[in-house]
Amino acid sequence: MRSGGRLTGLAVAGLAVFLAVAPVSQAGAAPAAVTFNLTIKPAAGPAGTTFAIGWTLRPNTGCKIITFSSALTSIPSSPGSPPPNTGSVSATAPGTAKAGTYAITGTCGETSAVTRFTVTSILPPTTTTTTTTTRVPPVTTTTPPVTTVPPVTTIPPGGNSSTTRPPVTVITTRPGFTTTPTISTDGTTTQTVTSTSDGTAPPPGTTPEIPVTDVPEPDGGLELDRKSVRPGDPLVAKGTGCEPNRTVLLTSEGDKVGESMSDGNGEFTAPVEFERVQPGRHTVFADCGVVLSGSVDQLVTSSTSGNSGTLVVLVFFVLAGAALIRVA
């Protein structure tokens, strides 16, 4: 009886030990815990922002692919199979996404993790700019008529001005004669004996000495020491404003009437000699780099005594002949 009781006690003790050890064995054989985390960069941004989702998976217990899902946008799955323990994929928030926070869920087998992206604002709508081209009418410029200035007439040495000078008529009364000196357009003076004091025309060939009335001339820069000359009278010309040390040529009506040399100040003095005796006004030109001009009157004196004597002798013979005829 005692032996049977001992056996029963040993059996009970063994069962108790087994029951105590069995849970420990089962606990040691349980699989290790899986760690699956998600990260996102950036975590927020306006619509149209691109973000990256990263993961950490330890250990990989047979997951062949990591998939992602979100109400924000479609997100690509992890590359490779099985996926690497760490990695990332990229996605872009649509430009039309509304502002708000969107959950992004990653699933690897029976394990899942969640991250979030916040849309801060909506992209501004695209503004279409319409360019309007306005045609500006061409500007019409009216050109005023061109006023042509008459050319300036330059008096060449020895030439005459092309400017028409109005004829000037001066009546000079001398004993026995009425004379009319007329200044023509070329500057010369013509003297005409109109009639005698008794109203009859003067005898042919009668040319009395007639003084010429002075007609003011514009200052041409050439100064003559006489206003009028008779044949043989000396005449001296003086000029200023010439080119220094230049030969000065004096001409009148194309004829050379003098020559000189200007000094260092552009001044000169030269005698004037007319080759021809021609009554009237004559213009003298001095070419010395510039053209100077001055005028002088030539006077011619003719004696009427010879004609008067001849007329007296003729009258004497006529009277004598008449007396002889009466006597006869």
Of the ranges 212-226, 260-274, 291-305, which one carries the lowest mean pLDDT score? Answer: 212-226
Residue 4's pLDDT is what?
A: 56
The per-residue pLDDT for range 165-180, each reduced to its tens digit, is 444 444 444 444 444 4
Nearest Cα neighbor of 106 from 67, 133, 137, 77 is: 67
Average pLDDT over residues 78-87: 86
Find tokens 């050439």 and name the residue: 222
pLDDT above 60 (res 204): no
Q: How confident is the model at residue 51 (pLDDT cuts 50, 70, 90)?
A: very high
Of the ranges 69-78, 93-102, 233-242, 313-322, which one carries the lowest mean pLDDT score? Answer: 313-322
pLDDT above 60 (res 323): no
Residue 142's pLDDT is what?
A: 72
Residue 21's pLDDT is what?
A: 46
Q: How far apart are CA 121 and CA 262, in angstroms?
A: 98
Residue 300's pLDDT is what?
A: 79
| Of 102-111, 204-213, 315-324, highest mean pLDDT | 102-111
Is 260 in a helix, a strand, or coil?
Answer: strand
Q: How far apart are CA 292 and CA 250, in angstroms?
A: 9
Q: How confident is the model at residue 322 (pLDDT cuts 50, 70, 90)?
A: low
Tokens read off for 191? 């003297």
Average pLDDT over residues 234-259: 93
pLDDT above 90 (res 110): no
Residue 82's pLDDT is what?
A: 85
Q: How far apart are CA 47 and CA 97, in angstroms?
A: 6
Residue 7's pLDDT is what?
A: 55
Average pLDDT, the chain: 73
Residue 76's pLDDT is what?
A: 94
Residue 36's pLDDT is what?
A: 87
Residue 225's pLDDT is what?
A: 93
Residue 121's pLDDT is what?
A: 87
Q: Residue 249: what are its φ and ψ, rounded to 5°? A: -110, 125
Residue 231's pLDDT is what?
A: 87
Q: How far apart are CA 326 and CA 38, in angstroms?
A: 178
Q: How far apart are CA 187 and CA 280, in angstroms?
A: 8
Assigned CATH for 35-119: 2.70.50.50
pLDDT above 60 (res 106): yes
Q: How confident is the model at residue 162 (pLDDT cuts 50, 70, 90)?
A: very low
pLDDT above 80 (res 247): yes
pLDDT above 90 (res 214): no
Greater confidence, 197 or 225? 225
| Of 44-48, 141-145, 153-157, highest mean pLDDT | 44-48
pLDDT above 90 (res 248): yes
pLDDT above 50 (res 268): yes
Render 23-53 in DSSP notation, one character per residue: HHHHHHTSPPPPEEEEEEESSEE-TT-EEEE
pLDDT above 70 (res 126): no
Find tokens 């510039």 and name the residue: 290
Q: How confident is the model at residue 79 (pLDDT cuts 50, 70, 90)?
A: confident
Average pLDDT over residues 141-154: 62
Question: What superfamily would CATH give domain 168-298?
Answer: Immunoglobulins (2.60.40.10)
Residue 243's pLDDT is what?
A: 93
- Count of residues making up the chain: 328
| Strands in the chain per DSSP E | 35-41, 44-45, 50-58, 66-70, 86-92, 100-108, 111-119, 168-169, 172-174, 177-183, 189-196, 222-224, 228-229, 236-239, 247-252, 255-261, 268-271, 280-287, 291-298
Greater confidence, 165 or 249? 249
